[in-house]
Amino acid sequence: MRPQRGKNQLGIFHSLAFVVSCLLPLLSFRYSSLPSEAIALLCSIPLFIVTYEFGLLWGAAAGCALAVGASLFPGLGGSGIYFLMILLPAAYVRWRQRLLEADCSLVKQHLEENITVYNKKIAELQGIVDREAFNATAIYEFTSILGSTLHYQETLNLMVDTILRIVPYDACCLFLLDDEADELYIEVARGLSGAGKETRCKMGLGVVGLVAQTGQSILVKDYERDTRFQPLQFGHKFASVLSLPLITKGKIIGVLEVLKEEPSAFDNNDLRILTIIANQAAFSIRNANLYSQVMQQAITDPVTGLANHRYFKEVLAKEFQRATRYGRELSLLLLDLDHFKEINDAHGHQIGDRVLTEFSRQLTAMIRDNVDLAARYGGEEFCVILPETGLGEALKIAERIRRRVAEKHFADCLKLTVSIGVATFPQHAETSEQLIKAADLACYQAKHRGRNLIMPAE
């Protein structure tokens, strides 16, 4: 498109052209013997320029001026006709130029509108691409994190913590199904005070119960206005709830629930991404649970349910290292059931196993939970690791065990006694093996001196 000029200005080039075009016919008329038609054509050049640059009105005025000039100079003859012949095409060209300028302006407006629409669409598509890229990265991160461990509780904790970075929440609960009670209990929770395994949900009741019963996800935009459900039992006012089933091999094992206080905080994209995560989570929970069961079986005595000999040795070595490092005391009880062989011979091994099982339960009930460790050392021999326990306290614990065993009836009618040897680090040993040997020797002395006794190591 030709660049637009100022309303009452000529460009430098056109100004010079106009001056020269005006001088040419005057000089030709004054000093040349050119025919009048040629002089008329020369006179038409400034007329064309004026019309093209300033429009038809100025061109007509210039044409009238030339016509008047032609009448003053008869030698020009019919030059007015030539003026009109030039004026009309120039006017037509100017008119077409105005139309083209109007069309270009309209096209420009349409292009700007289309560009705006396309930019919006590009921004929307870019948002979708960014969201999908984030979702793909989040799923990969979630899968990688869950694949980094097979420990059951660690898997569950990693799960709910990683979900927070993918779908922000104010609270999150991981419910697992108790098949025997037909209820769901909270295994892991974030953002909820007072929520634990004692918090139970009946199948079919509430959002969690309904999800567990139907196996279908539920997205609640505003919980208080949703008449399908009763108020939440957590003591918090959460408006948005997104609850998804955890299904593995066609069986529901639990429910994943995320909550936020503001309404409409979750959308269908959150539902979609969390559905993928829930499927992966269910698979990871199942694997971690199987791994936990296998590991538990590997360290558990199958008859008594206590730790087996191998696990006892591992824990004793760790506790001994810790006691050595921090200068703490560590005691070990070694227990031997008196005349146990006679029970097996008189009543059979099934009754003998029952006696061992009941004794193990009694022993476990009399030591500190998650601190001390009771293990089956072999046959009718048992041991108890007592971290941060001196000899005096260990003797008191041993006496309490001995007295309780002597008072109880096993397998409904059998009486039983136990001989106990007690050894303590650092008084009796410098290594874990020496500690075992000292406790074993003390137990042997207790049996040698009449059984149903407690003997400290020498």
pLDDT, tens only, 161-209 = 888 878 888 888 888 888 777 888 888 888 876 665 567 788 888 888 8
Query: Residue with structure tokens 């091999």?
Result: 249
How many CB atoms within 10 Å of residue 156?
21
**Catalytic (active site) residue 380:** yes
Residue pair 195/189 in contact (Cβ under 8 Å)? The answer is yes
> Cα 311 vs. chain centroid, distance in angstroms?
37
Helix ranges (H only) for 334-431 are 340-347, 349-365, 391-407
Query: What confidence score (pLDDT) does residue 273 get?
Result: 84
Query: Residue with structure tokens 């969690």?
Result: 208
Amino acid in the structure at residue 392: G
Q: DSSP of 285-333, one letter per residue?
A: HHHHHHHHHHHHHHHB-TTT-SB-HHHHHHHHHHHHHHHHHHT--EEEE
Lowest mean pLDDT among 158-172, 219-233, 311-325, 432-446: 219-233
Which of 444, 327, 333 lies closest to 393 in space, CA to CA?
A: 333
Phi and psi angles of residue 304, each rounded to the nearest 5 degrees, phi first = -95, -20
Which candidate in 132, 380, 381, 433 is catalytic? 380
Determine the Cα–Cα distance for residues 174 and 85; give it in Å rounded to an integer.
93
Determine the Cα–Cα distance for residues 238 and 132; give it in Å rounded to an integer.
28
Q: For 394-412, what is each residue's pLDDT tens digit? A: 999 999 999 999 999 998 8
Q: For 98-123, what is each residue's pLDDT tens digit? A: 777 787 888 888 888 888 888 888 88
Query: What confidence score (pLDDT) does residue 11 get?
Result: 47
Q: DSSP of 74-142, one letter per residue?
A: GGG-SHHHHHHHHHHHHHHHHHHHHHHHHHHHHHHHHHHHHHHHHHHHHHHHHHHHHHHHHHHHHHHHH
Q: What's the mean pLDDT when you consider all of the chain? A: 79
Determine the Cα–Cα distance for residues 322 and 65; give it in Å rounded to an integer.
117
Determine the Cα–Cα distance for residues 191 and 265; give it in Å rounded to an integer.
16
Determine the Cα–Cα distance for residues 110 and 326; give it in Å rounded to an integer.
81
How many CB atoms within 10 Å of residue 438?
23
Is the pLDDT reported for residue 439 higher than 90? yes
The more confident residue out of 424 and 146 is 424
pLDDT band at residue 69 under the 50/70/90 scheme:
low
Stated pTM of the model: 0.56
Residue pair 315/371 in contact (Cβ under 8 Å)? The answer is no
Query: What confidence score (pLDDT) does residue 340 get?
Result: 92
Residue pair 159/284 in contact (Cβ under 8 Å)? The answer is yes
Q: What is the mean pLDDT of residues 125-135?
A: 73
Query: What confidence score (pLDDT) does residue 359 get?
Result: 94
How many CB atoms within 10 Å of residue 189?
20
Q: Which two tokens stand for residue 268?
A: 């269908």
Determine the Cα–Cα distance for residues 262 and 170; give it in Å rounded to an integer.
10
Query: What's the order of all strands across the beta sheet hosting 454-456?
Result: 373-378, 381-387, 330-337, 418-425, 454-456
Helix, coil or strand: residue 309: helix
Q: Which two tokens stand for residue 257?
A: 């629930």
